[in-house]
Amino acid sequence: TQTSYERLSEARTLFGDLTGKVNSIGRLAISHLPKAVSNKFTHLIVAAAWCSMAALRGASNGRARDFLLLKLSEIFCASDGQSIFGHCSGDEVGHGPLNAVLLELSCLLGDVGKDGTAPEWVLGRMQELLDDISVTFGRCDRLRTTPIPLSFGHHGHRCLVGFLLGLPFVLFQVCGAATPFFCSALAFMALGIDESGAQIEQPFCILPLLPLCNAVQAEVEAMQKMLNERQPN
């Protein structure tokens, strides 16, 4: 159970770090890149957050793919969304869509660097953030693809059940007729904790990734709107 909670905490920290980097690079794009480029860049960086979420859910029944296609169609025109969505592997989303988005973002930065329309330090910092996003996603995917071994969880469950079965013989000398009540209460709490640990072994299946990605999209769009109001032309 302790290991499961540690995985949950690490997953929440990593995905929060990933969304924070998405916000940071979106802010730099909006404030320093030419308007036409920044609009495309912010669309892509928001798509990166959604691609990360869909890949980390790891669903093999097509639900994650359908959800990602819906989100991409809201962000891009049909052709651009399909070009990214086409990198899905089978029923799973996989790394393909996110890698395609990050590659497109790097190409945009390269084009801006050739044109000289943005400061070099900004482009360097944005490329660093793109690299960090890729690394952080890799760490998240490591958590998803390396679950706690089944034998480890089964052995712990068997030990707990054995302890609970032997508990009445020990408590009867102290609790007497109240032994069934105390044993039932202890079993309820102990087995509940064990079940909670089993449910959070796959942290990305229970973390609120949807609200986090919605918040990223809302914040990037709000920054874009603020800049447009300050610079209408």
Tell if the pTM clears 0.75, that is, is over it.
no
Residue 65 near residue 42, CB atoms below 8 Å: no
What is the rounded CA–CA span in Å between residue 131 and residue 123?
12
Q: Does 25 score more than 70 pLDDT?
A: yes
Q: Does 201 score more than 90 pLDDT?
A: no
Residue 25 near residue 45, CB atoms below 8 Å: yes
Q: Does 83 score more than 60 pLDDT?
A: no
| Tens-digit pLDDT profile for residues 134-188 | 999 989 888 888 776 666 666 677 787 888 888 888 888 888 888 888 888 888 8
Amino acid at 191: L
CA 193, 196, 202, 208 torsion-angle sign: negative
What is the rounded CA–CA span in Å between residue 104 and residue 24?
18
Higher-confidence residue: 123 or 79? 123
| Tens-digit pLDDT profile for residues 37-63 | 888 888 888 888 888 888 887 655 567
Give residue 188's pLDDT. Answer: 84
CA 27, 136, 54, 96 torsion-angle sign: positive
Span of 83-87, 92-96, 137-141 with lowest mean pLDDT: 83-87
Higher-confidence residue: 86 or 229? 229
Residues 24-36 have a mean pLDDT of: 87
Give residue 79's pLDDT. Answer: 45
Determine the angle formed by the axes of helices 2-32 and 179-199, rounding to 10 degrees. Answer: 30
Output the CA torsion 68→221→41→72 (10° steps).
20
Give residue 35's pLDDT. Answer: 83
Q: Does 78 score more than 50 pLDDT?
A: no
What is the rounded CA–CA span in Å between residue 88 and residue 97?
6
Residues 206-230 have a mean pLDDT of: 83
Span of 8-17, 64-73, 204-213 with lowest mean pLDDT: 64-73
Q: What are the two backbone dihedrals, phi and then psi, of residue 105, each rounded to the nearest 5 degrees?
A: -65, -45
What is the rounded CA–CA span in Å between residue 130 and residue 160?
46
